Amino acid sequence: MSEIHDSANNIAYLLAEAASGSGAKTALAIPASESADMRVVSYAQLASAAAQVQRHLAALGVERGDRVALSMPNVALMPALYYGIVAAGAICVPLNPLLSGAELEYHLRDSGAKVLFAFAGTRLASEASSTVLVKNGSVRCEIFTGGEGSPVAPFDVPADSALSATDSSDAVLEPVPVAASDPAIILYTSGTTGKPKGATLTHANILSNARSCVSVFGFTAEDVIFGGLPLFHAFGQTVSMNAAFAASATVALLPRFTPDGALNLVEHTGVSVLAAVPSMYVSLAAALEAEPERARSLRGRIRFGISGGSPLPAPVHSALKTLIECPVYEGYGLSETSPVVSFNQAEFGMVLGSVGRVLPGVQVQVRCPQGSECAPGVSGQLWVRGENVMAGYWNNPAATAEVFDGEWFATGDVARVDEQGNIFIVDRIKDMVLRNGYSVYPREIEDVLYTHEQVQSVAVLGVPDERVGEEIVAVVMPRPGADEGVLQAELNALARTRLAAYKYPRRYVMVESMPLGPTGKILKRDLRVVIQRG
């Protein structure tokens, strides 16, 4: 029996439904250039712009199932193009605006994209014209610069101008009917182990995950969701955008994250829910500690924060609770799972150190090395099954087969689950250090080092060593004003006291800043270069 095709199965239905019921309500609030003013876009305006994109793609000959690459910072254009692409039945391929020409070439070729939408002034846009596929006409490239004649003229403005929408179009967003299992989004993994792979997410994957987030977090139409996470990434797409629109909430967009810019956005838009990664929370806590008056003015104004991507240091969690009365709920997910698997949930109470319980429609299983299911509290590889799990890797059946056992997806993470269903992530399997035959998980060491008040950021990794196989090195970013010599001695004493002899770092490297990926994760592969130089 063939699947039912319905416009309600389309991701763009989230925007169309919100525009139909709350058209005049603010969908987006964006900072105006070099001022405290906010430019707003209503749901009706955003839906109309997405409809213009849908029409434009049809005029270009883009058909259902065709791939359209999209590279935008967090500006109003991004959701307009995103929803317009999927409304047309095409598959959206979000790309990082910082990609090089060679990286862009790979993504375009692997996805088979017919069209590329990019934003003027970004690295990707500047290098797009030099790629073979764009030069030979295989891929149509459109750079949004604010010129006349754009398919989304009200939004097509330079990034440094007022992102306002004065839409006079009568375009109505009417998403094409799709099957729930039709591919909607291809998200490319970071490629830390070989070439990036395209996680293929269906309309059902995205819709179920977004709606589960609304249910678990209790988003309402009165909420203003912080939009500082990049929308080309899974976390930002699902939590900051799709879930927000599913609740008819407002998204306060931040084109480029800085602590001061984020706090200004909170102050001027009334952000009620933060969605960020730990590195963002670290810098926000430091900024608030440096400005106690500002912290006092924000106390109690934010309902809660949502954190994922990596562990949130306990001192940062405590600082935000103390400074602005903002509890931060940690969760877990991957690009391949749309992305959210689990979260600490108010219904069950926060369990510090855990990433909470699974979302509705999601199951997890911890498997021991021999493949059997582990008992509660015993660590093993975490597997996930549910409505949120991807269809597979685009055009890569071999890689897909490696991570699936029937409907179960292998996350590559070591975890344990307690008897209440709370999940505790131990570490990435690939990050495990083998020292003298002992398995050491960097995350455990990082958690200990983070308890020192002079540590702003830390990453632990293993480096090749002839004597012990891999030696443990801690890369530390001290807080401003810290004495590095004293800090290193104190960290060494702390680690020796709190950790077994085979676990504590034998070497410390002090750095002024950490290399971060687009979502704020520390790039350990880049730190290896720093260690080799040092």
In 3D space, the residue among 242, 253, 484 whose CA is nearest the CA of residue 340 turns out to be 242
**What pLDDT is attached to residue 161?**
30
C-alpha–C-alpha distance, residues 315 and 313, integer Å: 6
Contacts for 41 with CB less than 8 Å, ≥ 6 apart: 26, 27, 28, 29, 30, 76, 155, 163, 164, 165
In 3D space, the residue among 17, 15, 21, 46 whose CA is nearest the CA of residue 163 turns out to be 46
| 240-277 confidence digits (pLDDT tens) | 999 999 999 999 999 889 999 999 999 999 999 999 99
Chain centroid to CA 531: how far?
A: 27
β-strands 423-428, 408-417 pairing: antiparallel
A 10 A CB-CB count for 138 gives: 14
* Third-level CATH fold of 16-24+43-179: Rossmann fold (3.40.50)
| 459-478 confidence digits (pLDDT tens) | 999 999 889 899 999 999 99
Task: For domain 236-428, give the CATH superfamily.
Answer: ANL, N-terminal domain (3.40.50.12780)
CATH 3.40.50.12780 location in the chain: 16-24+43-179, 236-428
* Third-level CATH fold of 432-533: GMP Synthetase; Chain A, domain 3 (3.30.300)
Low-confidence residues in the chain, pLDDT < 70: 1, 33-36, 146-169, 191-193, 534
Element spanning 111, H or E: helix 101-111
**What pLDDT is attached to residue 35?**
52
Chain centroid to CA 274: how far?
A: 13
CATH 3.30.300.30 location in the chain: 432-533
Is residue 443 within 8 Å of residue 450, measured between CB atoms? no
